[in-house]
Amino acid sequence: MMKERFVLAKERLSMIKEEKILQGKYGDYFEKTADFLTMVCGIYEEIVEGKYQSRTLTELKESNYKLYEDILPENYENSYANPTYTDACFGEEYGKLLCFLSAELRSVIVPAFEERLEDLVIRLELFLEVYGSFCCEKEENDRLPEAQNLREILYYYVNDYTRDAFERKLYDMLEPSSNFALKIIEGDISDPRYLYFFGEYVTENQIATWKHLQSLNPDTIQKMADTYTEGYRIGFQVGNKDITKKKTVNIRYCLGFEPMIRQAVENFRKIGLEPTIYRAASSILQGKGLNRIGYYGAIPNKQYDFDHKDDQALVLNKKLIQVRMEAWKEAYEKYKEQAAYFGGPAVVEIFGEAPAQLHEKPEAIHLTENQQKLTVEYMAAAGELQNQYIKGEERSFTIIAFPVPEIGPDFTEIFDEVIRINTLDYKLYQRMQQTIIDTLDKGSYVLIRGMKGNRTNLKVVLHELADPAKQSNFENCVADVNIPVGEVFTSPVLAGTEGILHVSRVFLNELEYRDIELTLKDGMVTDYDCGNFDSREKNQKYIRDNVLFHHESLPLGEFAIGTNTTAFTVARRFGIEDKLPILIAEKTGPHFAVGDTCYSHAEDVAMYNPDGKEVIARDNECSIKRKEDPAKAYFNCHTDITIPYDELGEVSVVTPDDEVIPIIIEGRFVLSGCEELNLPLDKAGIL
């Protein structure tokens, strides 16, 4: 039956160009979209027949380009997926509807490559239903269909297929038999042709990454994979969690790193973990967003992603939230055994891509204030549901990052330096960081002040230690869940934590913020601004959408002191400070996370430092609410903001008797026993 529906849909697509029922821009919209869908159907048929895999590298490149051609920056100005263009062509109301449809129909690429016929067919039929609505009104009444009718078609598409989509999403995350990507990774990767078999956008960035990894000797690949998988294993160990209870690990990465990923798969299997590798969401049905979670290829156009980050606003209401929650509940119940065995994600991040100058477009779809509240409530409820089946106190994670060729001509040298940074002597850092922790544990609060134009002036309150001989406020973080080494961190007391956090320039989740400033009172964000736009209103919206994630306020969930001066000097030497991922950047100065604590959903698991002391600062006044009302305890976000050493005037701890003990002064560690942390700065002639 599904094959019959596919044949009928494909035949109907082929007739659109000949019918000429719709004229002007509407006719052009449906003809071009039909051509795109027909092309994807042809690729699907080639894949099923085994012909696509036999294409030459040149043919694969050409086909891949055509799949993403419409939304590439050089073509986006006149793309029907561009809200500014559709608004100009069709007006505000129809423009938003047809732009939404264009973006959703791009998700046909995934089921075509993964041979998921039903997922392909429902998208073809969505397009044909909308097209049919236009044709009927044109032929019968010589007018456009009611916009509300079109909105209902889109709404019921999302409503009707959410359950299947959520079940599939969970299946891909939890079940190793969902192995589309793994088959490619464990197949022949000696030829870059394999990169095009995923269906993701591929550029020279992915090919050059693959070439570089292919050029490395096996020992280096092994070293990279070992650092990654050992970090995951040690994360369970230091978190006092039993990894032997787990059977699966979710690998997330960017295409081009398959030589390392294949070795990592072998490593994980040796410790009893089978990998699941699922694709980052591309459809509204699976909750696509601005950030890619899963595996992915090149990002065709970050502005396109930014324009469509709130597409759900077109259909979002309380009923749909209820449908989503019911869908999650049914899916988790179906896969509850797999969920119990799931260990958590192991992530390979990339950095070095050219930063995008993103523009907030008034023509794009945006969440209303009510929808923002619904989204916050939904994320809280979904997070709580997940924790019932994948318990926070039993799971862990790890994250490691590597540069990509787009970082510049020094790519290979930077890559080697990052391998060195990722494998620094953790015992050395552990010792010096313990010295810092022992000093911090004498204090009741910490003072952080900026310099050289940095306006930071913060007081961060620490928990009182009932038994200092056995307890600590700060975790000694070496190379486990957050690779590389280099930080001590805590969950501050909110009451009394106050002041201004300011950074001249920082990238958070790939978005640039200039002169970002947050004001804190009793540990909560009370005001915020930046210098990205020409009005305070636009700046605040930018932060509210992408840092506060639509919350009215967020708590200071983490305060940390980064100690990786090596990473800082490497970034300065190559001029890549603006390209460092948060993972590394947070180790290059003190950083502050707004949102949940680092111990979210695992607050009751005892955590011990290498010296045997228990880290007791696992809760704050928000997270403790989980015992009465979990919905009010968590915010389901955690964004780190780092002050670089050269903007840092002071970090000092103040004891109960008002003794001030400096730890960092003018960007340099002044605490006895931490002198070696200044050696990379001295060698580089910095500070």
Query: Encoding tokens for residue 59?
Result: 């043919």
Residue 231 CA to residue 219 CA, distance in Å, equals 18
Beta bridge mates, 472: 615
More confident residue, 357 or 535: 535
Mean pLDDT check: name the lowest of 184-188, 422-426, 516-520: 422-426
CB atoms within 10 A of CB 177: 9
- Rounded to 5 degrees, φ, ψ at 250 are -95, 120
| pLDDT tens string 155-214 | 999 999 999 999 999 999 999 999 999 999 999 999 999 999 999 999 999 999 999 999
Confidence of residue 619 (pLDDT cuts 50, 70, 90): very high
Pair 623, 414: CB distance under 8 Å = no
pLDDT score of 390 more than 80: yes
Residue 637 CA to residue 557 CA, distance in Å, equals 10
Query: In this structure, are strands 274-276 and 248-252 parallel, antiparallel, or unpaired?
Result: parallel
DSSP 295: B
Pair 96, 86: CB distance under 8 Å = yes
Query: In this structure, are strands 342-351 and 398-403 parallel, antiparallel, or unpaired?
Result: parallel
Pair 32, 75: CB distance under 8 Å = no
Query: Encoding tokens for residue 17?
Result: 């160009």
Query: Encoding tokens for residue 211?
Result: 């070439």
State CA 609 to chain mean position distance: 28
Confidence of residue 628 (pLDDT cuts 50, 70, 90): confident
pLDDT of the residue at 69: 98
The total number of residues written for the chain in this structure: 687
Residue environment code for 512-526, b if the CB has 16+ CB neighbours within 10 A, otherwise e: bbebbbbebeebbbe
pLDDT of the residue at 655: 97
pLDDT score of 425 more than 90: no
Mean pLDDT check: name the lowest of 59-68, 80-89, 509-518: 509-518
If we measure between CA atoms, which residue out of 85, 88, 91 comes closest to residue 103? 85
If we measure between CA atoms, which residue out of 75, 248, 278, 90 comes closest to residue 167? 278
pLDDT score of 685 more than 90: no
pLDDT of the residue at 175: 97
Mean pLDDT check: name the lowest of 122-136, 137-151, 195-209, 352-366: 352-366
Segments of 89-192 assigned E as strands: none
Confidence of residue 631 (pLDDT cuts 50, 70, 90): confident
* Domain residue limits, the chain: 2-145, 174-389, 425-684
Residue 684 CA to residue 647 CA, distance in Å, equals 17
pLDDT score of 215 more than 90: yes
pLDDT score of 260 more than 90: yes
pLDDT of the residue at 170: 97
pLDDT score of 627 more than 90: no
pLDDT of the residue at 81: 98
Confidence of residue 479 (pLDDT cuts 50, 70, 90): low
- Cα torsion for 131, 134, 140, 143, to the nearest 10°? -170
Residue 1 carries which side chain, given as an amino acid letter?
M
Give the residue-averaged pLDDT of 136-147. 94
Pair 272, 247: CB distance under 8 Å = yes
Pair 239, 605: CB distance under 8 Å = yes
CB atoms within 10 A of CB 631: 13
Confidence of residue 582 (pLDDT cuts 50, 70, 90): confident
Beta bridge mates, 279: 295
If we measure between CA atoms, which residue out of 416, 450, 452, 468 comes closest to residue 616? 468
Helix (H, G, I), strand (E, B) or coil at 495: strand
pLDDT score of 138 more than 70: yes
Radius of gyration of the chain (CA): 26
More confident residue, 283 or 360: 283
pLDDT of the residue at 581: 86
Three-state helix/strand/coil letters over 573-623? HHCCHHHCCHHHHCCCCEEEEEECCCCCCCCCCCCECCCCCEECCCCCCCH
Average pLDDT of the chain is 95
pLDDT of the residue at 555: 97
Pair 442, 653: CB distance under 8 Å = yes
pLDDT of the residue at 380: 87
pLDDT score of 371 more than 80: yes
